[in-house]
Structure 1
Amino acid sequence: MQFGRCYEEFEVGALYKHWPGRTITEYDDTLFCMLTMNHNPL
Structure 2
Amino acid sequence: PSSGCAQVLSHPGHTPVTSLAWAPSGGRLLSAPPVDAAIR
Q: What is the TM-score of this pair, normalised by structure 2?
A: 0.25
Give the greater-gyration-radius structure (CA): 1
Q: What is the TM-score of this pair, normalised by structure 1?
A: 0.24
Higher strand proportion:
2
Higher helix proportion:
1
